[in-house]
Amino acid sequence: MTEPPNPPESTGKWNTPYLPQVPGVVQAAAILLYVGGALAILSGLWRLFPGGMVGAVGGLAAILGGALSLGLGRALQLGRRWAWKTVLVLCAVGIALAVVRVFFEPLLSGASDITWPVVFAILLGTRTAREWFAEAP
C-alpha cells in the first residue's frame, strides 16, 4: 500500500488549494457568527408561521440576518479582508446604537446590547487577526 502524496509546496499564503491554519481568535469569531446565525434562522422560522404578517416580516428579517452571519463567519475563516472590515463596521454601528439606547432606556438594556459587538471587536482587533487579514486578498 502506498502513502498519499505530500501536498505541493506553496509559494505563498494564497497560492495553494490548502488553506493555512486559521488563528484562534478568528476561528472563535467565526464560530460565534455560526452559532448566532443558526439561532437567528431558527428564530426566524419560528416567527414565520404563527405571527401573521408582522411575524412573517420579522421572521424573514431574522432569516436574512442569520444567513448574513453564516456567510460572514465562513468568509472570516477563509481570510477575506472584506468580511473582516464588514464585521468591524457592524460592531461600530452596534456599539453606537447601544450607547444611544442607554440614554433612552434603562442602563442594563443598553449595556447588554453592547456586549457582542465589543466581543467581536476585541477578537478581530487583536494583532494576530490584523496580521491574518493584512495578507488577505
Instruction: Tell me the pLDDT tens digit for each residue of 49-86.
Output: 776 666 778 888 999 999 999 999 999 999 999 999 99
Among 86, 80, 69, 92, residue whose Cα is nearest residue 132? 80
Assess if residue 55 is contained within a domain. Answer: yes
Count: domains in the chain: 1
Tell whether 12 is covered by a domain.
Answer: no
> What's the confidence (pLDDT) of residue 53?
65
**Is 9 a member of any domain?**
no
Q: Are 136 and 22 in contact (CB under 8 A)?
A: no
Q: 40 in a domain, yes or no? A: yes
Residue 37 lies in a domain: yes
pLDDT in tens, 13-23: 555 555 568 89
Q: How far is CA 137 from CA 14, 75, 107, 132, 133, in A?
A: 8, 11, 41, 11, 8
Mean pLDDT (whole number) for 91-114: 80
pTM of the predicted structure, to 2 decimals: 0.77
User: Is residue 8 in a domain?
Assistant: no
Owning domain of residue 129: 24-134
User: 83-118 burial, b if ≥16 CB within 10 A, otherwise e?
Assistant: bbebbbebbeebbeebeebbeeeeeeebeebbeebe
- 11 falls within a domain: no
What local confidence, expressed as pLDDT, does residue 17 receive?
56
Q: Decide if 13 is inside a domain.
A: no
Q: How confident is the model at residue 110 (pLDDT cuts 50, 70, 90)?
A: low
